[in-house]
Chain A
Amino acid sequence: MASVNIENLDKKYGALSVLHSLNLTVADGKFVVLLGPSGCGKSTLLRMIAGLESISAGEVQFDGVRVNEVHAKDRNIAMVFQNYALYAHMSVRKNMAFSMRLRKVDKKVINEKVEWAASILGLDSYLDRLPKELSGGQRQRVAMGRAIVRDPDVFLFDEPLSNLDAKLRVQMRTEIKELHQRLKTTTIYVTHDQIEAMTMADEVVIMRDGYIEQSGSPMMIYDNPNNLFVAQFIGSPGMNVLRCTVVEQDGRLLAQHEDQILALPADANVTAGQVIYYGIRPEHLEPVKLGEGEGAVGGAQAHIRVVEPTGPEIHLYASLAGQEICCISRTRTQWQPDEPIVVTPDLEHVHLFDVETENAITPNH
């Protein structure tokens, strides 16, 4: 077990800079998820921690000790590669056993561990096949198996579930989380699936274009996004964002989007005439049919476009003054397309962002 520290880490490919002075601390035993869109540098960061990619500047530390010069084989990490990186000429069994064979682990122990991993991963009947005789998802599971039979200081996972079907993915998600709860091994997990990040992480690190945008517990980030990018990246369906102008009516500040008016929280740190982004998550935007539920103050009028029942709730996609929004209804109302509705924001959960910097506008206290 080890804590991982990253200090002012830079990565340059020639003149191209892909990571910019990153700082990150992963405490011992934590499950940290690196989340970000494709090409933001997640794999690069992971490979630098693994020792597979040279470090242009800055430091990687394990337990406070600089490991920049330590060879990958001596870092005692286990890694699942995005492209599997299986040993093509070895059977599934041998692929998984390879690291133990190198460390001269007892044959019996090797067999037990491999069979344990295979049963978790549902690979029991494939142990004697070659990688080329497996499907993409099966290969990915072999790559997982190769990592979990180890007893490393740090687990590094690079999108290990991206090729599995929905059911298997949910199942494996639970397996990995359980495994982590049992082994308590420091884990750094890369994904661009925000649901995976939310469900698995002790701490989520959101990256964009080689910068860390925000890090913290999933719920903290969900509730308090630092900026517009984080706000929209986390959550599904995504946060509704409306470009509004702050107006003053009867001594109260309101947000106006086209001809619609939305209430602002009382402690909003804005002034009349200011242009802002008004962010509200779908579950905090309550829909009622127009004319019903009178007295909904600060609600805006919208037209339903699509109704998506998911079971526990109904997602309504509607258009608010030409802008697509989504809101969630937890009642069993019969919503109809084209129906006019009134959506009311829960003022506790309104996020305001500066249009210039896109940073969150922190409320007055």
Chain B
Amino acid sequence: MTSRRTWLPNWLTSEHPLPWLFPVTSLLLVFGLYPVLYSLWLSFFKRNPATRIEKFEPSWNWSKLLADDRVWDAVQVTFTYAGIALFLQLALGMAIALLLDSDKRGFGVLRALMTLPLVVPPAVTGMMFLLMYDSSFGVISNSLYALNILSPENPILGTGSTALWGVIVADVWQWTPFMVLIMLAGLRALPREPFEAASIDGASSFQSFIFLTLPMMSKIIALAVLIRGIDLFRIYDYVKVMTDSGPGTATETLTAYAGTVYFKSANFPYASAVALATLLLVLVTSTIFIKLFKVRF
């Protein structure tokens, strides 16, 4: 075959994958890999807050991190937050998806309405809930006071035992629709025949759900848990807007702590170490999850 461009090396021709992969690869390298490597590099310096001089001392920040109680508190808060929010979103998402999985008239509109919370910016959601939790005029607070579940002396976000729940509710409100969407996609793709066979075999709808729906949906559920789980680990906006890690450090997650170290103490090397620790935690947890539940992409 004669080509007019024989002077081009093979790996630059359109038949080779490299030219096609180049743009996205370079984006990933510049905006993904470089910052991570730079953070790693940064975390090897010891910063003197007074003199603002940074000195190369690779183990300084990492040993400080391991000895820092606030880090371990933050790890605990992060896991609690992610665990509870994930469970609620999963359970609610599945329940709502089951309710919306119908071909009856009007359900299409309901499914579309369900996704509305997803278009609200998370910071706005946080501010919205902040208002609803307000102890003098907030609708949620006032309802809870009226029902004698809470008292005005202990405002939701101002009390250590309830603040995290307050933030979780905002997260659940915003992200449950995402779970609903994924679950609905899965449910609507399920074949009808096995369910007919099961009802002939004498299965109630609950038994069909346990023995057919759940196993048939397991891959999709695992994927949803993974996506939401990773997202929940990097929770920052709701905490920042609603409690700013307070009261005290009751709602301080790892990313919130990293933010504090970075923006308030301006200790960039240590903030890098905390941020990298978060990344490490996400990687390890999700890898264990992937291996455990054999998630395939």
Which positions in A face B, CB cutoff 8 Å? 50-52, 71-74, 76-79, 81, 83-89, 98-99, 102-103, 146, 150
Contacts and interface: CB of A to CB of B under 8 A. Distances in A.
A78 B204 CA distance: 16
B193 A72 contact: no
Given A73-B200, A85-B196, A102 B216 contact: no
Contact of A102 (B194, B196, B203): B203
In order of increasing CB-CB distance, the 8 nearest A-B pairs are: A85-B193, A99-B201, A85-B197, A72-B199, A89-B215, A73-B199, A79-B200, A73-B202
Contacts of B211: 87, 98
B112 to A, nearest CB: 25
22 contacts: A52-B199, A52-B200, A72-B196, A72-B200, A74-B202, A83-B193, A85-B193, A85-B196, A85-B197, A86-B194, A87-B194, A87-B211, A88-B194, A89-B215, A98-B198, A98-B211, A99-B201, A99-B202, A102-B203, A102-B207, A146-B197, A150-B201
A102 B201 contact: yes
B212 interface: yes
B192 to A, nearest CB: 9
Given A73-B203, A99-B201, A81 B196 contact: yes
Nearest to A85: B193
A103 B204 CA distance: 11
Interface of B: 193-194, 196-204, 207, 211-212, 215-216
Contacts of A51: 199
Contact of B216 (A50, A76, A89): A89
Contacts of A52: 196, 199-200
Contact of A146 (B193, B196, B201): B201
A153 B204 CA distance: 19
Contacts of B207: 102
Contacts of A83: 193
B197 A103 contact: no
Contacts of B193: 81, 83-85
Nearest to A79: B200
Given A98-B211, A103-B202, A79 B216 contact: no
B198 A78 contact: no
Contacts of B204: 73
Contacts of B197: 79, 81, 85-87, 146
A20 B192 CA distance: 26
A146 B50 CA distance: 78
A77 B200 contact: yes
Contacts of A71: 199
Contacts of B194: 85-88
A27 B202 CA distance: 24
Nearest to A84: B193
Contacts of A81: 193, 196-197
Nearest to A76: B202
Contacts of A74: 202
A52 B192 CA distance: 11
Contacts of A84: 193
Contacts of B216: 88-89
A116 to B, nearest CB: 18
A98 B201 contact: yes
Contacts of A98: 198, 201, 203, 211
A51 B197 CA distance: 11
Nearest to B197: A85
Given A87-B194, A98-B198, 5 more contacts: A71-B199, A84-B193, A98-B201, A98-B203, A103-B202
A320 to B, nearest CB: 48
Contacts of B200: 50, 52, 72-73, 77-79
